[in-house]
Amino acid sequence: DLSVVARGTPGFSGADLANLVNEAALLAARLGRKGVAMEDFEFAKDKVMMGSERRSLILSEQDKKIVATHEAGHAVVASFIPDADPIHKITIVPRGMALGLTQQLPMDDKYNYSKEYLEAEIAVMLGGRTAEETLIGSVTTGAGNDFEKATEMARNMVVAWGMSEKMGPLSYRAESNPFAAFWESGARAQYSEETAREIDEEVKCIVLAAQEKAREIISAHKEQMGRVIQALLDREVL
């Protein structure tokens, strides 16, 4: 289904797509197939975008359960929150720097993003850590990249896209200075320190509200969480 491949490869150049097809064909040949199957394209897409599988990285049963819980958290929140992109794949096979991955694919090309969509996506990003807290009772270092992306998205909602009622429909982007000395930041804020504190508070409010939404969903769907976690431990890829 090439439409699914296309939805999962936004921004790929012609060379990127050629590399994807070559990787899929190589895998199909290694497996003795007479044609290239969808699973070959899925494998090739993951390899091109995230690197080769790290099968040599042996995770303990406890680590596997933590990763499975983390990824199930992303998936269940995305499945039960309106406006989020649908789930395409969940895996606990380590690739590159990631120990697991939950992949969402939009149904259509998006050129505008609503406030509701962005809030839903932040909740999905925080679903992994929230699942660890709720089901395991402990937290790990695995959510660092999720926090980085969630915070960046929330900050853009406040400073660039006017999506904060408290801060109003204003732009608070820092003014870039290409002539700044290398030891300076190269950007100068066009607002006071008090406004900077208010921006930080608004960003924090958006992220914490999204986390609370994720916690509500996970708490209400513990049975589904358990089934997804067990299926991941059994099959590694869903």
Please identify every residue annotated as catalytic. 71
Q: Which two tokens stand for residue 222?
A: 């513990």
Residue holding tokens 């995230």?
Answer: 50
Let me know: does 123 contact 81? Beta carbons within 8 Å. yes
Phi, psi angle pair for 111, to nearest 5°: -120, -20
Q: How far apart are CA 110 and CA 101, in angstroms?
A: 22
Q: How far apart are CA 97 and CA 46, in angstroms?
A: 13
Q: Which two tokens stand for residue 34?
A: 């007479």
Q: How many residues does the chain have?
A: 238
Let me know: does 79 contact 87? Beta carbons within 8 Å. yes
Let me know: does 94 contact 54? Beta carbons within 8 Å. yes
